Amino acid sequence: MNREKPSVPRPILARLQAHFDQLIPRNLFLVSPDTRYKKVYHIAGSTAVKDNITIAFRIVLYQDEHFCDYFLNANGYTEHRKYVVERDEVELLPNFEGQYGDSAIEDDGLSYHEHMRIVKHDAEVRKMLIKKGFIKR
C-alpha cells in the first residue's frame, strides 16, 4: 500500500511560487513540481538574494481550498503567514515581536514588564513554530 502523500497540482504550485516571488524579489526559491500535501519544506535563498534568507512551508487542502502556512526568515526579520492560494489572500499568524529593527525593542524607554511580555510571547511563538516543523529546537 502506497502511503506517500499526493502531489499538489502544478497550477497551485505556480501560484504559490508567484506569491513567494512577490515577497522576495529575484528569489530563486523553487517550489518543486513534486511538492506534497502536509509535508514541511525548508528552502534556502539563492545567491541572487543578499543575506541569509530561508522559508519553511507546508500546503494543506481543506474544503477545496489550498492553504500554505509559511515562515520566512530574512536575516533575523521573520514573517509567519497563511496564504490562501485560490483567493490570493494572506493572513498574518503569530510572529516574533523582538526582532531586529523593531523600534519598540530599540526604545530605551521600554519597561521591564513590556520587555518580559515580549519575551514570553516570543517563547510561545517559538514553541508553535517548532511544533509546526518550521524551526528546530
**Burial level of 134, CB count in 10 A (0-12/13-18/19+)?**
buried
Instruction: At 54, list the grid cell.
Output: 530561508
Q: 56: helix, coil or strand?
A: strand
Q: Which amino acid is at 58?
A: R
Mean pLDDT by 10-residue block, N- to C-terminus, for the chain (137 residues)?
A: 78 93 73 93 71 88 97 89 97 87 56 90 96 94
Measured CA distances, 127 to 37, 72, 76, 89 (Å): 23, 16, 17, 26
Q: What is the pLDDT of residue 128?
A: 97
Q: Identify the pLDDT of residue 27.
A: 64
Delimit the domains of the chain by residue range: 10-132
